[in-house]
Structure 1
Amino acid sequence: MTRDGTPGRDSDDNRVATADRDGDRGGDGDRGGDADRYDVPPDAEAIACPRCGRPFAGRRQRDLHLGVDHADLTADERAAFEAAREEETADLRRFRILSLGLLVLLYFGFLFVYALVG
């Protein structure tokens, strides 16, 4: 999803993250050569996107990529995207709740230390 909430790709946000070590973004913006710009260790197993060839560490990341970056999905790919999105949403929600709890504990911990020492 883009920043304004519409489906699709952010303009250059993903391209900056995939720049090589020299800072070259590669190509003229053509998406056909995206797979060539990723360094996958030779001993690592990567799951490639069936449309653009971009490698991913897992099926969930690939399914999320398919749903966000490619519009013409089959029914199975759409179902996999929806399942991956639900899992990702649940994981993010859990992370946010745990982070908030940690911040609250940290705040009150400092408050009690200040009350005892100060």
Structure 2
Amino acid sequence: MNEDYHVPTSAPVYECAYCGRPFARERFRALHRGLEHASDLDDDEVEQFRDAYSEEAESIGMFRLKALAALVLVYFGLLMIYATL
């Protein structure tokens, strides 16, 4: 294991087979492999990367929608407070 990363001994570790970097989740390892070691991947690892990338894109999209909704609520809340003063 690489000495640059401090991983608790009780935590599950998913280590990259190409560089030895530890990850907390398999999805993070799949994303790392696809981005850093794309030319070395076999078909199964490419499929894992695509699935992880798709899942990550969905999560980011949902976060953006929630952030936009929060901004709209804050904006209109402040607008209503200003209108009542």
- Hey, what does 1:69 align to over in structure 2? 36
Aligned partners of 1:74 and 1:106: how far apart in 2? 48
Q: Cα deviations across residues 18-44 of structure 1 (Å, max 9, x unaligned)? A: xxxxxxxxxxxxxxxx82200001111
Secondary structure of 1:99's counterpart equals helix
Counterpart of 1:100, as a letter, is L
Runs (5+) with no aligned partner, structure 2: none
Residue of structure 1 equivalent to 2:7: 40
2:22 is the counterpart of 1:78: no
Q: CA RMSD, aligned part only?
A: 1.1
Separation of aligned partners in 2, 1:97 and 1:35: 38
Aligned length: 84
CA distance in 2, matches of 1:57, 1:76: 20
What's 1:99 paired with?
67
1:105-116 aligned at under 5 Å gives the runs 105-116=73-84
Q: Which among 8, 25, 42 is matched to residue 58 of structure 1?
A: 25
> Distance between the aligned counterparts of 2:6 and 2:51, measured in 1?
28
Deviations 1:31-89 (A, max 9, x none): xxx82200001111111001111000000000000000002110000000000000000
List, as ranges, runs of 4+ consecutive aligned residues in structure 1 with deviation greater than 4 Å: none
Percent identity of paired positions between Structure 1 and Structure 2: 44
Whichever residue aligns with residue 57 of structure 2, its letter is T
Higher RCO (C-alpha under 8 Å, 6+ residues apart): 2
